[in-house]
Structure 1
Amino acid sequence: MVGYFQQSGTYNNFNVKNLVTSGSAELLTQVNYAFAELQNNQCVSSDTYADYQQALPADETVDGIADSTKAGAFVGNFHQLQELKRRFPELKISISIGGGSANPADFSVVAEPANRKAFVKSCIDMFIKGKFAPGIEQPGIFDGIDIDWEYPASAEDMENLTGLLEEFRSQMDEVRPGLPLSIASSAGSWAYQYIDLEKVQHSLTFFDLMTYDFDGPWNNTTGLVAPLFQAAGDPSTTNNAASAVSAYLAAGVAPEKIVFGVPFYGYEWTAVPDVDHGLFQPGTPVGEGSGYSSIVPLESTFVHYRDPVTQAPWLYDGTNFWTYDDPQSLAYKMLYVRKEKLGGVMAWSLSGDMPNGILLKTVAFGLSEDPR
């Protein structure tokens, strides 16, 4: 069970402490901290204040002790992750490098044979060895590395990504064999066609397969964010999670290397005509999405619908439309994950869950028990 924790959560009242109070920390196998970035062919912090400079008050810390306000004190999210690991020593924490806002061209450059060795060393020195800044050395917080290159886009990128991951595996094994190495990989063939899926799996601990964002605000047509199967009325046979998993398996990826992604968020459209309860209809996207915890309060003002094939829910009020996952659709997906003997489940992102962690708890129950 892998959950992405967004660095920016500290500015939106979602701190590492929330993983404890929601009951999520005890369920998670690994936390992927998102994101670090690439600058000048090196791994760097994308927000040093959030990472290790922001002193948090006692009511926002894992141990209930206010961070030191002394100059140079090691504080912020990284210190809270340190406290989280003290409380949950079996929990693994990976640094996720890149993300959707990162320039894919930067990855193309660092993955080149002439650059990759130094780049990988910079990532390991900073995160695995904890050399965050001059005078700040805190090893033992990060156990692994997650590469989120969105997306390789050429045959050269494909070859270089393979080489980059082999270099990460080699250098990480020199530190300690078996440190977690993963990539956030697309569910769309337009992107994964440039990943040598069979070959890179030998370097990876697992793929964080992003089996979501099949429909969203980049489309002027409504749809389902993360249907498990082809939904009734969806003209595309590949616009679903099971299709992506089948493609990875067909490419030779071992099922236990696939960690199935689920969204803890949803998307909205407006000006949607009242045809088929708004599903697969023209509409105007609203915003860039909201967490499940922001969608739940809206449910009472909408009519609630559910696709019989995928169990995916949506909301519609005659003009406004929301797509998201809920406990029922997640429980259904867990039956599939178990049936296919996949490696586990990944969630983007933990901040979207309810304060009681209901979505993550649904996933955990579904992976450990058969709800039928």
Structure 2
Amino acid sequence: MANIRALQLIVSILIGFILVLSTTATASAQQRRPVVVGYLAAFKGLDLSIERTDLSAFTHYNLSFANPDTDGKFTREGRMTCMGDETGANLSVEALRGMVRRLQASGAKVLISTAGGVIPGCSGDWKVLLGPERRAATIAALVELADTLGLDGVDIDIEGQLLTEIDRAGDYTPFIAALSEAMKARGKLLTCATASYEGGMIPVSSIPWFDLVNVMSYDAIGPGWGQAGTEHSSYAMAERDLDLWLARGVARDRLVLGVPFYGYGFGGEKANWSYRDLSIAHGMNATKADVIGNLCGGCRYITHNSPATIERKARLAAEKGGGVMVWELSQDSPDHALTKAIGRGLLRE
């Protein structure tokens, strides 16, 4: 009888050990799963953007962009204070809450993205709102917004000169550190978007506080900037940007490579192109290369990312980072060609 009990004990221990190993392996596999972050632009129309998106393909959605009013409030009387839809009207809180639930039902995390590359006139002054006297109130307003909308976190997209001025005043990292602690206390995420040029990068001191760092690896050239005759978002640029942020201390599993679902035209071409419009106007065959036309200064051409390049970048992001970020989701072709390319690249780990 004693031998049987001993055998039963050994079997029980072995089963427990196997279950622990299985749970650990499952958790590890889930941790290694690449993220696919998609920005949904409210000013394009969130309903339209969601309709154009393959909801099974994305792990995170960033609703863009929310700004506070001069009092630091993000909502007032049931509406966002500075987050307009495609008509320019501020979105209702209830409508946003419904969209959050709809996106979460697909299994994704949903965040609100704040600020943006161009701060609208309805916004309060971020430099003032993040200063020592008003920082705590701004953080409280962001926490309240996340709770009110049922969000999984907040994305900070303070860019360019505004970022530089806030950082030089010594206000960026203290804001991020305090916001991160507030988000983590509620089991929510804090992420950011950053460029990779001097004056447009988040400070190194802020990096440890972010769950994801979304690197905007595009816009090397545009209608009013950059060297004529070059690509706006090359594969080489993606390599450089990932290496830069790894060297700056971003953990691999938190580093996310941003890719564009749009392009730019030069030399008489229309200046701004979504990949969707490009594929319809020129045909999918023409978009198999990253350049339509002659790539040279003064020449007529369009520079964008083809499905093949998006796939290569996704593969690179899986090798060196934690996944891919997209700006922005309404711009993919009707058959989701670029989204599918991301999936192929990430699966080839």
- Give the TM-score band, short-chain normalised: 0.7 to 0.9
Letter in 1 for 2:239: A
Report the alpha carbon displacement of residue 79 of structure 1 after superposing the two structures with TM: 2.0
The alpha-carbon distance between structure 1 residues 322 and 94, as it changes in their structure 2 partners (threshold 3 A), is same
Determine which of 42, 46, 60 is the counterpart of 1:30: 60
Between Structure 1 and Structure 2, which shows a larger proportion of helix residues? Answer: 2
Instruction: Check whether the contact 2:233–2:304 (CA below 8 A) recurs between aligned residues.
Output: yes
Displacement over 6 Å in runs of 4+: 301-305
SS at match of 1:95: strand
- 1:92-146 residue CA offsets vs partner (Å, 9 max, x unmatched): 11000011111799222222122111001111112x111xxxxxxxx42x11100
Q: How does 1:140-159 map to 2 (within 5 A)?
A: 140=150, 142-151=151-160, 152-154=163-165, 156-157=167-168, 159=170
In the alignment, which residue of structure 2 is the partner of 1:169? Answer: 180
The alpha-carbon distance between structure 1 residues 251 and 84, as it changes in their structure 2 partners (threshold 3 A), is closer
Does residue 356 (structure 1) correspond to residue 335 (structure 2)? The answer is yes
Aligned counterparts of 1:181 and 1:2: Cα–Cα separation in 2: 13
Report the alpha carbon displacement of residue 81 of structure 1 after superposing the two structures with TM: 3.1
The alpha-carbon distance between structure 1 residues 245 and 189, as it changes in their structure 2 partners (threshold 3 A), is farther
- 1:261-282 residue CA offsets vs partner (Å, 9 max, x unmatched): 00000000125xxxxxxxxxxx
Report the alpha carbon displacement of residue 242 of structure 1 after superposing the two structures with TM: 1.8
- 1:155-208 residue CA offsets vs partner (Å, 9 max, x unmatched): 84473111111111121123x23x11111101222322xx322x3222110111
Aligned counterparts of 1:364 and 1:96: Cα–Cα separation in 2: 24
Task: Provide structure 1 residue ranges, at least 5 long, that are not aligned to the other structure.
Answer: 54-73, 131-138, 230-239, 272-284, 307-312
TM-score of the superposed pair, with normalisation by structure 2: 0.77
Tell me the C-alpha RMSD between the 2 structures.
2.7
Give the total of aligned pairs: 296
Aligned counterparts of 2:111 and 2:179: Cα–Cα separation in 1: 13
Q: How does 1:38-49 map to 2 (within 5 A)?
A: 38-44=68-74, 45=80, 46-47=83-84, 49=89
Aligned counterparts of 2:118 and 2:327: Cα–Cα separation in 1: 15
Instruction: Check whether the contact 1:116–1:167 (CA below 8 A) recurs between aligned residues.
Output: no
The alpha-carbon distance between structure 1 residues 155 and 97, as it changes in their structure 2 partners (threshold 3 A), is closer
In the alignment, which residue of structure 2 is the partner of 1:5? Answer: 40
The alpha-carbon distance between structure 1 residues 305 and 123, as it changes in their structure 2 partners (threshold 3 A), is closer
In the alignment, which residue of structure 1 is the partner of 2:325? Answer: 346
Aligned counterparts of 1:168 and 1:337: Cα–Cα separation in 2: 27
TM-score of the superposed pair, with normalisation by structure 1: 0.72
Instruction: Check whether the contact 1:181–1:206 (CA below 8 A) recurs between aligned residues.
Output: yes
Aligned counterparts of 1:189 and 1:212: Cα–Cα separation in 2: 15
Instruction: Check whether the contact 1:261–1:348 (CA below 8 A) recurs between aligned residues.
Output: yes
SS at match of 2:224: coil
Does residue 210 (structure 1) correspond to residue 245 (structure 2)? The answer is no
Task: Provide structure 2 residue ranges, at least 5 long, that are not aligned to the other structure.
Answer: 1-35, 75-79
Does residue 367 (structure 1) correspond to residue 343 (structure 2)? The answer is no
Percent of residue pairs bearing the same amino acid type: 23
SS at match of 2:213: strand
Aligned counterparts of 1:366 and 1:124: Cα–Cα separation in 2: 35
Q: How does 1:110-125 map to 2 (within 5 A)?
A: 110-125=129-144
Q: Which structure has the larger Rg?
A: 2
After alignment, is 323-332 or 96-105 more displaced? 96-105
Letter in 1 for 2:159: E
Report the alpha carbon displacement of residue 302 of structure 1 after superposing the two structures with TM: 9.8
Letter in 2 for 1:168: L
Aligned counterparts of 1:298 and 1:106: Cα–Cα separation in 2: 41
- 1:59-78 residue CA offsets vs partner (Å, 9 max, x unmatched): xxxxxxxxxxxxxxx33x54
